[in-house]
């Protein structure tokens, strides 16, 4: 090597030494997302729990320490909505990313002897989409979107593992005659509490798939009626609420004494199983790789002797299950992802169940279908609010009880009742920033906003002959 070349290396080598770490960082930054571990997703959706049924959202008569932990270590979503105000359409919209104005399933419609009107095979669901990115999917709890063996059977809608109750009617007794394990009917002695069996299978799925990216959908039936819980769990609450010992609740053939005590026991039980999920993720060392979202499928029911007013289940909200007022559709929601979601954070981003599909697609690097109504709220979860897309409005419709429509448009909430009798019935208007309880109808003061609400209702509805509405 000549003196000149020696001199060149003396000059260049230090420059390379400084540059290599930078180049390495740039290389890592632009690595394909597929080369890194994709996040796991756990979506826990309880059945008929109100906005105020969790202590982190104001519940005082019982505590939910594990849901509270999720809020304390993660994010409270204060303006998150269910996809519908009853079970089946809420689940349909969640799975497909379509709101109830153009969804496949828009109400609860039973198919005898077991099951509900099915999702068609052409429906594209969350597990089917995530499978493209190597995800394994399990579903544990209540399905309600197609009878066993039908097009809508969860095993025909992309799930690799199913354990729970296919039929809504079957699931509303917590001591059922049978459950389903994939496509196998498993007979029970009616002495085992179905919720516990389902929770155990959920944990098994997580443990088995700890090394793979997974989507774990957990639609617990608690606290839907009947108000049932093992007696050893109810007993302490009987002592706390003795004034209801002469009250009986009847639902689906079950007769329950002191359904108030049973409700508290059910919520306590459910919360413990949420804690078991979090603890297992930590035990397996995959908590930092797992997004857990906890929510409800709609507002609180008044069935089987349950007394939501006693528990202040709706907090400041108006309405119950089957209403499109806030109490029927705004649901307590928390998101937990250690190291990714800021601890103790709160977001008022307006989102709904049909936003889940595009959110999981964005976080997993999976291409989302083009015709979704949902908008990803991944930027909100990750604290990147500047990049959060906002839609003009959210829309709901419900064909029961005369037909109802609702629109959330920024701070404004519009509701139209008795639509099937009069498609042009007056629209109620509320300013949720000042009137979250929807007590003061100010439609007459804001005709231009009402006009926008009416336009949104008209453009959002699509005919569905199975669930007739305003056709």
Residue 398: CATH number of its domain: 3.30.1120.10
Do 243 and 346 lie in one domain? The reply is yes
Task: Decide if 233 is inside a domain.
Answer: yes
Task: Decide if 109 is inside a domain.
Answer: yes
Contact predicate 85/298, CB 8 Å? yes
Do 213 and 306 lie in one domain? The reply is yes
Contact predicate 311/59, CB 8 Å? yes
DSSP structural state of residue 341: S
Reference 259, options 300, 221, 306; nearest CA is 306
**First-last CA distance in the chain:** 88
Q: Cα 94–91–413 angle (5° rounding)?
A: 70
Do 378 and 400 lie in one domain? The reply is no
Do 320 and 404 lie in one domain? The reply is no
What distances in angstroms separate CA 224 from CA 33, 187, 202, 310, 462, one per listed residue?
40, 22, 19, 16, 30
Give how far the C-alpha of residue 310 lies from the chain's centroid of Cα atoms, to the nearest Å: 25
What is the chain's length? 471
Q: Which pair of tokens denotes residue 209?
A: 């798939």
Give how far the C-alpha of residue 336 lies from the chain's centroid of Cα atoms, to the nearest Å: 13
CATH code of 134's domain: 3.40.720.10
What is d(CA 42, CA 293) in angstroms, rounded to the nearest whole number?
6
Do 273 and 288 lie in one domain? The reply is yes
Strand bridging mode 351-352 / 394-398? unpaired
Instruction: Calculate Rg over the CA atoms of the chain.
Output: 24
* Cis amide linkage into residue 113, ω under 30° from 0: yes
- pLDDT tens string, the chain, 471 residues long: the values are 444 444 343 333 343 333 333 333 333 333 334 447 899 999 999 999 999 999 999 999 999 999 999 999 999 999 999 999 999 999 999 999 999 999 999 999 999 999 999 999 999 999 999 999 999 999 999 999 999 999 999 999 999 999 999 999 999 899 999 999 999 999 999 999 999 999 999 999 999 999 999 999 999 999 999 999 999 999 999 999 999 999 999 998 889 999 999 999 999 999 999 999 999 999 999 999 999 999 999 999 999 999 999 999 999 999 999 999 999 999 999 999 999 999 999 999 999 999 999 999 999 999 999 999 999 999 999 999 999 999 999 999 999 999 999 999 999 999 999 999 999 999 999 999 999 999 999 999 999 999 999 999 999 999 999 998 875
Which pLDDT score, from 0 to 100, does residue 471 have? 59
Structural domain harbouring 222: 37-387
Tell me the angle at which helices 194-208 and 259-283 cross, rounded to the nearest 10 degrees: 10
Task: Decide if 6 is inside a domain.
Answer: no
Do 446 and 331 lie in one domain? The reply is no
What is d(CA 13, CA 6) in angstroms, rounded to the nearest whole number?
11
Do 445 and 319 lie in one domain? The reply is no
Burial-class residue 129 by CB neighbours within 10 Å (0-12, 13-18, 19+): buried
DSSP structural state of residue 299: S
Contact predicate 175/192, CB 8 Å? yes
Number of domains the chain is built from: 2
What distances in angstroms separate CA 334 from CA 69, 78, 206, 468, one per listed residue?
10, 9, 20, 34
Task: Decide if 30 is inside a domain.
Answer: no
Do 287 and 427 lie in one domain? The reply is no
Reference 252, options 168, 346, 318; nearest CA is 168
DSSP structural state of residue 301: -
Residue 75 φ then ψ, to 5°: -130, 135
Contact predicate 194/230, CB 8 Å? no
Give how far the C-alpha of residue 96 lies from the chain's centroid of Cα atoms, to the nearest Å: 13
From 356, 387, 418, the end of a domain falls on: 387
Q: Is 457 helix (H, G, I), strand (E, B) or coil?
A: helix
Which pLDDT score, from 0 to 100, does residue 35 have? 45
Give how far the C-alpha of residue 179 lies from the chain's centroid of Cα atoms, to the nearest Å: 22
Which pLDDT score, from 0 to 100, does residue 253 have? 86
Do 43 and 123 lie in one domain? The reply is yes
Task: Decide if 22 is inside a domain.
Answer: no
Give how far the C-alpha of residue 64 lies from the chain's centroid of Cα atoms, to the nearest Å: 18
Task: Decide if 23 is inside a domain.
Answer: no
What is d(CA 131, CA 352) in angstroms, rounded to the nearest whole number?
23
What is d(CA 359, CA 357) in angstroms, rounded to the nearest whole number?
5
Q: Which pair of tokens denotes residue 83?
A: 């996809």
Q: Quickly count: other Cβ atoms within 10 Å of residue 111's Cβ.
A: 14
Task: Decide if 470 is inside a domain.
Answer: no
Cα dihedral value 13, 17, 18, 20, nearest 10: 120
From 367, 387, 407, the end of a domain falls on: 387
What DSSP string describes 68-132? Answer: HHHHHHSEEETTEE-S-SSHHHHHHHHHHS--TTT-S--S--B-SSS-BSPPPTT---HHHHHHT
H-run or E-run covering 328:
helix 326-329
What is d(CA 138, CA 123) in angstroms, rounded to the nearest whole number?
18
Task: Decide if 21 is inside a domain.
Answer: no
Do 442 and 380 lie in one domain? The reply is no
Q: Quickly count: other Cβ atoms within 10 Å of residue 286's Cβ.
A: 18
What is d(CA 381, CA 333) in angstroms, rounded to the nearest whole number?
12
Do 308 and 447 lie in one domain? The reply is no
Q: Which pair of tokens denotes residue 214?
A: 């997974």
From 387, 414, 430, the end of a domain falls on: 387
Residue 318 contacts by C-beta under 8 Å, 6 or more apart in sequence? 325, 326, 327, 437, 438, 439
Do 177 and 317 lie in one domain? The reply is yes
């Amino acid at each position: 090597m000549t003196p000149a070349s020696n001199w060149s290396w003396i000059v260049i080598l230090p420059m390379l030494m400084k540059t290599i770490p930078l180049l390495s960082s740039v290389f890592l930054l632009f690595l394909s997302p597929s080369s890194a571990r994709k996040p796991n997703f756990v979506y826990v959706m309880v059945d008929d729990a109100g906005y105020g049924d969790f202590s982190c959202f104001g519940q005082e008569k019982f505590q939910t320490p594990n849901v509270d932990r999720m809020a304390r270590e993660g994010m409270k979503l204060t303006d998150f909505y269910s996809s519908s105000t009853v079970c089946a359409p809420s689940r349909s919209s969640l799975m497909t990313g379509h709101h109830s104005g153009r969804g496949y399933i828009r109400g609860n419609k039973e198919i005898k002897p077991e099951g509900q009107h099915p999702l068609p095979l052409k429906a594209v669901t969350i597990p089917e989409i995530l499978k493209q990115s190597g995800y394994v999917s399990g579903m544990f709890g209540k399905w309600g979107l197609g009878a066993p063996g039908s097009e809508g059977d969860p095993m025909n809608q992309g799930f690799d593992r199913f354990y729970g109750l296919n039929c809504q009617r079957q699931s509303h007794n917590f001591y059922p005659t049978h459950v389903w394990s994939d496509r196998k009917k498993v007979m029970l002695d009616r002495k085992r509490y179905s919720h516990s069996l389902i929770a155990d299978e959920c944990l098994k799925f997580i443990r088995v798939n700890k090394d793979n990216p997974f989507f774990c959908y957990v639609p617990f039936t608690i606290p839907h009626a009947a108000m049932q819980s093992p007696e050893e769990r109810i007993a302490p609450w009987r002592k706390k609420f003795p004034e209801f010992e002469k009250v009986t609740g009847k639902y689906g053939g079950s007769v329950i004494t002191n359904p108030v005590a049973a409700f508290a026991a059910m919520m306590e039980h459910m919360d413990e199983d949420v804690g078991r999920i979090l603890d297992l993720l930590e035990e397996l060392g995959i908590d930092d790789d797992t997004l857990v979202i906890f929510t409800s499928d709609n507002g609180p029911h008044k069935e089987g002797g349950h007394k939501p007013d006693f528990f202040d289940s709706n907090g400041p909200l108006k309405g119950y299950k089957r209403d499109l007022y806030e109490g029927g559709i705004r649901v307590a929601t928390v998101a937990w992802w250690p190291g990714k979601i800021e601890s103790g954070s709160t977001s008022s981003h307006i989102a709904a169940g049909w936003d889940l599909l595009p959110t999981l697609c964005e976080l997993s690097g999976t291409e989302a279908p083009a015709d979704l109504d949902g908008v990803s709220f991944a930027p909100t979860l990750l604290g990147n609010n500047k990049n959060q897309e906002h839609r003009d409005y959210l829309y709901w419709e419900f064909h029961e009880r005369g037909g109802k429509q609702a629109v959330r448009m920024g701070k404004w909430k519009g509701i139209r009742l008795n639509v099937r009798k009069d498609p042009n019935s007056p629209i109620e208007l509320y300013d949720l920033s000042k009137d979250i309880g929807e007590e003061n109808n100010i439609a007459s003061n804001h005709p231009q906003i009402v006009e926008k609400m009416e336009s949104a209702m008209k453009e959002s509805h699509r005919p569905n002959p199975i669930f007739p509405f305003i056709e």
